Amino acid sequence: MRCGRESSGYNRRQVTRLAGIQAAPFDIAIIGGGIIGCGIARDAALRGLRVALFERSDFGSGTTSASTRIVHGGLRYLEMLDFRLIRLDLRERETLLRIAPHLVKPLEFLIPFFNGTPVSPLKLRAGLALYDALSYDKSLPSRRSLSAEEARAADVALRTPNVRGAAAYHDARVDSPERLALENVIDAEEHGAAVVNYCEAIATTMRNGAIAGVRVRDALNGSEAEIDARAVVNATGAWFEPVVQQLTGRRPGRVRSTKGIHIVCPAVTDRALVLFSSVDQRLLFAIPRVGHTWIGTTDTDYDGDPAQARATREDVDYLLKSVRGIFPSLGTEDVLYTTAGVRALVMQGGRESSVSRMHKVVDGEPLAPAGMISVLGGKITGYRAIAEDVTDAACRRLGVPHRRCLTAKTPLPGGRDSPPAGHTGVMSHLYNLYGTRAAQVMAIARSAPEFERRLSPGYPDIAAQVIFGVRAEHCVRLSDFIRRRTLLGASADQGWKAAAPAAALMASELGWTPDQTAAELSAYELEIERTQAFRA
Ligand SMILES: Cc1cc2nc3c(=O)[nH]c(=O)nc-3n(C[C@H](O)[C@H](O)[C@H](O)COP(=O)(O)OP(=O)(O)OC[C@H]3O[C@@H](n4cnc5c(N)ncnc54)[C@H](O)[C@@H]3O)c2cc1C
């Protein structure tokens, strides 16, 4: 690696980030720190490869942060007869429950049947039987049927005479896919990987007609460096096409991008529900999360910049209209905020929601020159298996003898030991976020009385988490801490009451000036405003 120009430092910890990366060459440089890029970094590092990972924003801040946050085979894909995808994801659901028990937790879904439900209960029950059969190796309970009376007792939203019964089945939830991505980064780093967020790949370097590395720019201080790598992986998801164009001048046209949004409302259901849109019969979810109900998602073709995707008034109206039968009193004024993200699907014609979510790994041509491995499509649920496929392809390219993939059997850092039983209050909150790494947060909390304090009386989060975020979890912007290291961003005010105290702690750790601190607060306020764009 050759380091280039360094301009004025953003903060004292960040000035030397690129200079600090271990000496070249790397075996593999990964572009894109979403769940898939982070998973690849971990797999490759655990197999002993020399790994570098570059994310132009924060780890897990792209599509990964805009998902419905369920770890599932996908009931919807049964209709598309996509059994290979469903089976892979059901196997991976089990793997994630095992390697990340603090982040991935079982969740029971109810499918209520009403008079006039557009899908036949018989067909749904047959689908659930098949779903159970495809997850023959699961640890989760099997499906069950609920009578009308049992369905009404199960959830407040179902207390209506119109309910004829329900079917129930288990999948899993991941409240923070951002932390799931991050724990992959942390494990990769513990196994020698160099990982840098806020660092964009801006060009490739070529040798003998093949890609031989990438040029990267640190977004925090403008410094640039050339990284030599024997293989470069493009794991930029919805950014795939523009990144290939920028780095290689090609436009492969192999990704179909669709936008999906959620609306977040005050709690209107205690249980996760599968619903069918009364507008077009599409399958939707209403899921309890951090005290609210998340309703989504949409699936519409999108050709703009993924970073600019927003929920529009039309998107919000569609969702509200779709669920009016079950939540009649829910209106636009109840929507606390929205999320929006862009799926990158392997190009296929037809209706947006009928396009397969199966991934594809292509080594070199025809998508990119030799030396670049492209990964397209995929879901959060299958990220570990996708990372395994990519790392296998990288090992083949590098000509290294086959090294066994270890990620299915090796717990993520927070899942390494069992947490002590019987913890409550703040400790319980910390274990849910950090798993057994919560002990490290508590050690910081005990080191100074001010670190034990809550950031704001309304939240369980404490000051020590900010310090831990900066020192141990690559937290460099205020939004990293609020949205991606904690669940503060999912609260009704999106963590705004914690923003000033958290910014003050980050300022003292990172040496921000008062102007930089104010700029961080303004930037976060702007992010909140974007979630309200549909009101315009
Ligand atoms: C609305 C919605 C709901 C979904 N729900 C679910 C669900 O419930 N369960 C599930 O399993 N899946 C779900 N998915 C799918 C899932 O979210 C995605 O498949 C997954 O997050 C993709 O991860 P990724 O790493 O490929 O992409 P991303 O998370 O988008 O990561 C790509 C990264 O590349 C970075 N990048 C771009 N250009 C550069 C560059 N030049 N240099 C460096 N970095 C760069 C970006 O900043 C970005 O962070 C959902 C998707 C959507 C849109």
Q: Are 232 and 28 in contact (CB under 8 A)?
A: yes
Q: How confident is the model at residue 107 (pLDDT cuts 50, 70, 90)?
A: very high
- pLDDT confidence of residue 78: 86
Span 440-496, pLDDT tens digits: 999 999 999 999 999 999 899 999 999 999 999 999 999 999 999 999 999 999 999
User: Which of the 8 DSSP states describes residue 86?
Assistant: H
Regarding predicted confidence, which is higher, 119 or 195? 195
Cα(65) to centroid of ligand 1, in Å?
7
| pLDDT at residue number 424 | 78
Q: In angstroms, rounded to a whole number, what is the distance separating the alpha carbons of residues 297 and 279?
A: 13
pLDDT interval class at 402 (50, 70, 90)? confident
Residue 341 CA to ligand 1 center (angstroms) comes to 8
Tokens 């849109």: give the residue. Answer: 277
Q: What is the pLDDT of residues 422-434, one digit of tens each?
A: 787 889 999 999 9
Q: Mean pLDDT over residues 349-357, rounded?
A: 68
Ligand 1: distance of its center to the CA of 11 in Å? 28
Alpha helices in 47-120 (DSSP H): 76-79, 83-99
379 CA to centre of ligand 1 in angstroms = 8
**Is the predicted pLDDT of residue 153 greater than 60, yes or no?**
yes
**Ligand 1 proximal residues by C-beta, below 6 Å:** 31-37, 54-57, 61-64, 66-70, 200-201, 235-239, 243, 260, 297, 341-343, 378-381
Q: How confident is the model at residue 293 (pLDDT cuts 50, 70, 90)?
A: very high
Residue 421 has pLDDT above 50, yes or no: yes
Q: Which residues contact 328 (CB under 8 A, 6 or more apart)?
A: none
Residue-wise pLDDT tens digits, 434-453? 999 999 999 999 999 999 99
Residues 6+ apart with CB under 8 A from 209: 369, 370
Tokens of 25: 């060459």
Ligand 1: distance of its center to the CA of 234 in Å?
Answer: 13
**Residue 379 Cα: closest atom of ligand 1:** 19
Q: What is the pLDDT at residue 472? A: 98
pLDDT of residue 3: 41
Determine the average pLDDT of the residues in 155-181. 96
397 CA distance to ligand 1 centroid (A)? 25
Give the pLDDT band of residue 180 (cuts 50, 70, 90). Answer: very high
Question: How far away, in angstroms, is 398 Cα from ligand 1 center?
Answer: 27
Could you tell which of 91, 217, 239, 338 is best to mutate to test the pocket of ligand 1, judged by most ligand atoms within 8 Å of the CB?
A: 239
149 contact partners, CB below 8 Å, separation of at least 6? none
Probe target for ligand 1 pocket from 175, 198, 380, with the most ligand atoms within 8 Å of CB: 380
Predicted TM-score (pTM) of the model is 0.96
pLDDT bucket at 44, cuts 50 / 70 / 90: very high
Q: If you search the block for the tokens 């924003």, which residue do you land on?
A: 57
User: Whose C-alpha lies nearest to ligand 1, atom 37?
Assistant: 236
Q: 345 with 377: CB under 8 angstroms? A: yes
What is the model's pLDDT at position 18? Answer: 87
Asked if residue 94 lies in contact with residue 288, where contact means CB atoms within 8 angstroms, the answer is no
501 CA from centroid of ligand 1 (Å): 30
**For residue 45, pLDDT beyond 60:** yes
* The predicted structure's pLDDT at residue 520: 98
Which residue from 38, 63, 310, 474 has its CB within 8 A of the most atoms of ligand 1, so it is best to mutate? 63
Residue whose CA is at the smallest distance from ligand 1 atom 18: 379
Kindly state the DSSP code that residue 282 receives in the 8-state scheme. Answer: -
| Mean per-residue pLDDT over the chain, rounded | 93
Separation of alpha carbons 441 and 430, rounded Å: 8
Provide the pLDDT for residue 12: 52
Q: Residue whose CA is closest, atom 15 of ligand 1?
A: 379
Task: Give the atom of ligand 1 at the shortest distance from the alpha carbon of 58.
Answer: 49
**Cβ within 8 Å of residue 421, ≥6 positions away:** none
- Return the sign of the alpha-carbon dihedral for residues 300, 303, 307, 308: negative
Strands 224-234 and 51-54: unpaired
Closest atom, ligand 1, to C-alpha of 57? 47
**What is the pLDDT averaged over residues 314-323?**
98
Burial of 336 (0-12, 13-18, 19+ CB in 10 A): middle
Q: Which atom of ligand 1 is nearest to the CA of 259?
A: 53
Residue 4: what pLDDT? 41
Q: Rounded mean pLDDT of 72-94? A: 91
Choice between 101 and 254, residue whose per-residue pLDDT is larger: 101
Ligand 1 centroid vs 35 CA: distance in angstroms? 7
CA of 409 to the centre of ligand 1 (A): 24
